[in-house]
Amino acid sequence: MTIAVTAAAGQLGTLVVDALLARTSPDQIVAIIRDATKAEPLTTKGVDVRLASYDDPAALNDALAGVDKVLLISGNEMGKRAAQHQNVIDAAIAQGVDLLAYTSAPAVDTSTLPVAPEHLATEQYLATTTLPHTLLRNGWYHENYVPAIDGARQSGTVLTSAGDGRVSSAARADFAEAAAVVLTTDGPVKPVYELGGDAAWTQADLAATVSEVIGAPVTVAEVPPAEQGAILKGAGVPDVWADFAVDTDASIKNGELEVTSGDLPALLGRPTTPLVDTLRASV
């Protein structure tokens, strides 16, 4: 069985390849990357590295030749991702892939997250095909909150407009391991996995965790969304990312990043990594 991982040189893709190497032999793994300069760390692991951009249907078709299963890791070019993902899906269909797993986002059919529309478009396109597929709806990464450490060191606060909303984040490595488990199982897989960490935390919990990591008091600075955006932009955050943060906090306030399915620990066969462990490791 040959398993391909797209975006295999990225932060998640690299971890997926490592998780697969713990479960199968290197000659059964195809790492698809778009930048040849990033090939060496993968080739040294003995995996088959193939070059293909999400924007190049012909290269994707060649890259998926002889592949049984593929993990489509969502792209990072906002506004282009739906079309790019469709290119990968079409190549998988052309090559007769047995299973495609796609890294989506929590409950995208009802979500207001700023990343949700392109994920939903990809899911909807998959639904129109006969390609066997499973949706890995990854929750937020612990690593998304590493910047909160520097912010708290400077201001002593966690800036937010998320209210009492909870986030079931998990370590990127946990999501990677879950993907590897799904891709290497011999049994049937679920059509949808809603993936999130064991502990759903509030902004007050985040502040307490950051305080523990840096060894200094940290409090929550709860402000209205417009004020949050103005503060971020005034601090030099580009408008697009300041707006992204505000919109994400609105979704958190609505409870859209709290995942209660238990799918992630079930796939891992263990508890998920605590937030404090990932933040502590980052410093």
Look over the chain and give the mean of its residue pLDDT values, rounded to a whole number.
Answer: 96
Q: Is the pLDDT of residue 65 over 90?
A: yes
Mean local confidence (pLDDT), 8-31? 97
Dihedral sign computed on CA atoms, order 6, 240, 277, 167: negative
Closest CA to 162 of 205, 211, 99: 205
- Angle at Cα 67 formed by Cα 99 and Cα 135, nearest 5°? 25
What amino acid occupies position 126?
L
In the predicted model, is pLDDT for residue 283 greater than 90? Answer: no
Q: What is the DSSP letter of 257?
A: T
56: β partners: none
- Rounded to 10 degrees, the C-alpha dihedral 229/235/237/239 comes to 40
Question: Which H or E run contains 32?
Answer: strand 29-33
28 residue type, one letter: Q
Query: What is the rounded distance in angstroms from the CA atom of residue 89 to the CA atom of residue 115?
Result: 19
The average pLDDT across 193-203 equals: 97
Greatest distance between any 2 Cα atoms in the chain: 56
| Residue 234 banded pLDDT, cuts 50, 70, 90 | very high
- With CA atoms as reference, report the closest residue to 197 among 137, 125, 140, 119: 140
Average pLDDT over residues 123-130: 98
pLDDT over 90 at 277, yes or no: yes
Residue-level pLDDT at 12:
98
Q: What pTM value is reported for the model?
A: 0.96
Residue 200 confidence (pLDDT): 97
Convert the pLDDT of each residue in 140-169 to its tens digit. Answer: 999 999 999 998 999 999 999 999 999 999
Rounded to whole angstroms, the Cα distance separating 274 from 86 reads: 35
pLDDT at 187 over 90: no
Q: Does domain 3-138 correspond to CATH entry 3.90.1150.10?
A: no
Residue range 100-105: average pLDDT?
98
- Helix then strand count (H, E) for the chain reads 12, 9
Q: Where are the domains of the chain?
A: 3-138
**How high is the pLDDT of residue 60?**
98
How much is the average pLDDT of 47-76? 97
